[in-house]
Amino acid sequence: MTDITGSGPTRGEPVLSLRNVSKNFGAVSALTDIELDVHAGEVVALVGDNGAGKSTLVKILAGVHQASSGTIRFMGREVAMTDPGAALDLGIATVFQDLALCENLDVVANIFLGRELDPWRLDEVAMEVKAWTLLNELAARIPSVREPVASLSGGQRQTVAIARSLLLEPKLIMLDEPTAALGVAQTAEVLNLIERVRDRGLGVIVISHNMEDVRAVADRIVVLRLGRNNGVFTPESSNHELIAAITGATENAVSRRAAAHAAAQEGGLA
């Protein structure tokens, strides 16, 4: 049976720790002296305006880009993510926004894509059982694992992509905008899924622009602004504080609208 936790760290132990991580693209400083900690059984939301450096940070951790300087510790030791394979081998899984699924293949084939149990002799039955086990552990609602991905909803596709990333028993999973373009019910399903992954002791990093989703699922909210850390918040932090950290100003069009909206709601309730 697939155990999606693997031999992971105990809840609360540090999984990932970044210190002074910087990344330059030629003359462009995409990231400067980033610090980030993720613990086992914790969801960390990475938020920031467009161009804040979120994608660059995730790509460094996924081995797509290499940091220009700084240290990355993973499971207690300093590591170098030289390529995507190295990150995967260490136990860092990434679900990118495009999900990288094959529309015409079924759920089983997508979960095992490139990782067939025996590439010379496809053991369809064993792979189907393993796919079901994985999806059941996630309490995922997929009608049939023999359904082509093309016929699944956005939420179900996200589920398949997450299940696929758990196959290699990672210690850390990174999700890039997992609820973008999803409806209300599908978003709730994906947020539940993230909680189940967290409850199994994995460290989770979620990039999101949706503050409601971030508050609903994150244990800590790390704000990046112009490639630098700009505060760590909790879901209880006020919208005003969060928006100020994201935009870098306490008074701006977004915060004024939020304040006016809150005042109107209060007025309505009175």
Ligand X SMILES: Nc1ncnc2c1ncn2[C@@H]1O[C@H](COP(=O)(O)OP(=O)(O)OP(=O)(O)O)[C@@H](O)[C@H]1O
| Binding-site ranges for ligand X (CB under 6 A) | 25, 28, 30, 48, 50-56
Nearer to ligand X, 72 or 134 (CB): 72
Nearer to ligand X, 9 or 178 (CB): 178
Residues in the chain: 270
Burial of residue 76 (number of CB atoms within 10 Å: 0-12, 13-18, 19+): exposed
Minimum gap (Å) between residue 79 Cβ and ligand X = 21
Nearer to ligand X, 52 or 163 (CB): 52
Minimum gap (Å) between residue 226 Cβ and ligand X = 8
Nearer to ligand X, 196 or 220 (CB): 220
Minimum gap (Å) between residue 167 Cβ and ligand X = 26
Nearer to ligand X, 1 or 28 (CB): 28
CA-CA distance, 33 to 39, in Å (whole number)?
20
Closest CA to 197 of 3, 60, 1, 58: 3
Minimum gap (Å) between residue 158 Cβ and ligand X = 18
Supply φ then ψ for residue 245, to 5 degrees: -70, -40
Nearer to ligand X, 10 or 50 (CB): 50
Minimum gap (Å) between residue 178 Cβ and ligand X = 14
3-class DSSP state of 195: helix
Q: Measuring CA to CA, how many Å separate 70 from each of 15, 36, 117, 173, 243?
A: 17, 12, 38, 21, 28
Minimum gap (Å) between residue 46 Cβ and ligand X = 8
Q: Nearest 5 degrees, angle CA 240-CA 246-CA 249?
A: 65
Q: Nearest 5 degrees, angle CA 205-CA 207-CA 209?
A: 150
Calculate Rg over the CA atoms of the chain.
19
Nearer to ligand X, 75 or 224 (CB): 224
Nearer to ligand X, 55 or 255 (CB): 55
Minimum gap (Å) between residue 246 Cβ and ligand X = 10
Minimum gap (Å) between residue 65 Cβ and ligand X = 7
Closest CA to 4 of 259, 269, 222, 196: 196
Closest CA to 53 of 76, 78, 70: 70
| Residues 6+ positions from 167 with CB-CB distance below 8 Å | 2, 111, 112, 115, 134
